[in-house]
Amino acid sequence: MAVTRGIAEMTTRSGDVPEALGTADQRREQMLHAALEVISARGYADTRIADVAERAGVSPALVIYYFKTKDLLLTEAIRHYEDSWYRVGQARMAELASAAAQLGEFVAMSTLADADPEPDTSWQLWLDFWAQAARNAEVAAVRQKSDERWREVIADLVRDGQARGEFRAEVDADAFAICLSSLLDGLTIQIALDDPLVDSVHAYELAMQLVADQLDFDWTPSRGRSADRGRSGSRGRTATRASAARAAAASQKGSDEG
């Protein structure tokens, strides 16, 4: 879920009056980007409006003017994050010829950090979002819409693959979408918590093996992926994630060409 890089570097002085038509939208996006960064780094409970304002280079009063409460700031940041993520995903999948490759890219973006357009603001953010959804009705409503969108994308990819003759026709696309989205959410939690047995590469492989088995198409992990799988803190897996993403892309490309 890509968030435009560089926006957080823009600064706004307290009391400034917009001088261009796009200034208000730019400020809003600037604050949402800052919220994503701060919440991911500190956690929702330890994030203050003042922290977001400082990161964005604006006054706390301006953040409150735009978002009213911290809960609303969280939900709007999630919406912004998702919209950007789906735009990137649609562009990537449009370049892939087969439904299997497109579904594989979707799984990769959900599990492999280097395949996620914005890896540093992903897994921890969702843990906070889910925790707040269990306690706050407004956040829960956003969570429900988010899950519906998530499942709809998966179901549409499955139906497209069935129409092309790539996937098993008997599979219920909606039921499959619930199963896969739940699996990906569960794997996300394990990755976010740095589970010693479930790093991002392993999560990707487990999910793709289930997808291939259920939809009945051939899929094989790239050679050397298991050997590349490393173990370190979530912010220290860059080399492993990068090699995993490259291997995943090479494997999927080879499947398309074959």
Residues 181-219: b if buried by 16+ CB within 10 A, e if exposed? bebbeebbebbeeeeeebbbbbbbbbbbeebbeebebeb
| Residue found under tokens 């926006």 | 7
| Average pLDDT estimate for 15-19 | 39
Q: What is the pLDDT of residues 42-62, one digit of tens each?
A: 888 888 999 999 999 999 999
Domain boundary among 95, 120, 149: 95
Q: Which of 100-109, 112-121, 123-132, 159-168 comes out lowest in average pLDDT?
A: 112-121
Domain match, 73 and 180 both: no
Domain match, 253 and 127 both: yes
CATH number at residue 156: 1.10.357.10
Domain boundary among 61, 95, 129: 95
Q: What is the pLDDT of residues 96-112, one digit of tens each?
A: 999 999 999 999 988 88
Domain match, 6 and 73 both: yes
Confidence of residue 136 (pLDDT cuts 50, 70, 90): confident
Domain match, 25 and 87 both: yes
Torsion of CA 117, 193, 250, 109, to 10 degrees: -30
Domain match, 243 and 123 both: yes
Residue 15 pLDDT > 50, yes or no? no
Count of domains for the chain: 2
Q: How many angstroms separate the CA atoms of 3 and 208, rounded?
A: 26
Give the orientation angle of helix 137-164 with respect to helix 173-192, to 10 degrees.
Answer: 120
Q: Are 61 and 128 in contact (CB under 8 A)?
A: no
Domain boundary among 42, 75, 95: 95
Residue 26 lies in domain: 1-95
Domain match, 138 and 253 both: yes
